[in-house]
Amino acid sequence: MEYYILLSPFVIGTILGLINNPSIENNVDKFQNLLSTRKEKITPYSGKMNRFLIRPFLWFALKIKEWTNDIAHPGFKSGLRVSLYLYLIELFLYLFITLTMLIIILVVVGVILWILGKILASASDTETTYKYRKTFYKKDNDLTDHVGLRGNKIYSGTNWFNEELKGRVDNDGNIYSGTNWLSEEKIGRIDNDGNIFQGTNYFNESKVGRIDEDGNIHKGSNWFNEEKTGRIDDDGNVYKGNNWFNEEKEGRTGI
């Protein structure tokens, strides 16, 4: 394929030179006059396309006319000019395609490196983020870390087959652990702003986290020490993780 591309301008120019038809010479002259007119029109413009592509092409194309003016044989002169014009077009097309591909590759590599940097940065924080502070929670009370919406029950498990009831949140936002009314006990509450409190009443409760408007779950007593530990989606599924790449389902909320 490469040989055809390299030889085709030479073959075409040779054939036109052997034909030695006056109409060919006239058409070549018209093309050269068109190039001269085009060069005069774009001279006032300083765009990057004109500066780095069109102007250099026209400069070389008009130089071909100057370099071949002294050739006496009209057929040979026209054929040589056509061959050189075709080679010039191939050269500029090759440079344009190569530069375009290089820019695309650099952009793609840059995007990939940026994504990898984000993933690695998130992964490096994962171990610290998901070490639960057991001093704050007992085994049965860890559901304060991922409470559901008001009026819903809280289940642990990754699917319907292995899930089990852990507690519930009543319509007033009170959080209960236990599987039924006889065994359940209040362990905290959620206020109207989504703040999560641990404790059995107003006198011994303390803030341990919050749920924002998007369902993201944050652990911490204030804005300065809180960290995202999961989220609740629109279907009530509860996920543990600080981003989409490392999260995993650990339960759900529902009736």
List phi, psi (to 5°) of 159.
-155, 180
Tokens representing residue 109 in the block? 């590599």
Q: Which residues pair with 174 in a beta bridge?
A: 189
Q: Look at the pTM and tell me if it is higher than 0.75.
A: no
Residue 181, classed as helix, strand or coil, is coil
pLDDT confidence band for 177 (50 / 70 / 90): very high
Average pLDDT over residues 147-169: 84
Asked if residue 140 has pLDDT above 60, the reply is no
pLDDT confidence band for 198 (50 / 70 / 90): very high
CA dist 193 → 34, 39, 219 (Å): 73, 69, 15
Q: Report the chain's mean pLDDT, rounded to a whole number.
A: 82
Asked if residue 13 has pLDDT above 60, the reply is yes
Distance CA 111, CA 253 (A): 37
Asked if residue 51 has pLDDT above 90, the reply is no
Tokens representing residue 168 in the block? 């519930």
Least confident of 14-28, 91-105, 117-131, 180-194: 117-131
Question: According to the model, what pLDDT value does residue 151 have?
Answer: 82
pLDDT confidence band for 106 (50 / 70 / 90): very high
> Domain map of the chain by residue range?
2-104, 142-254
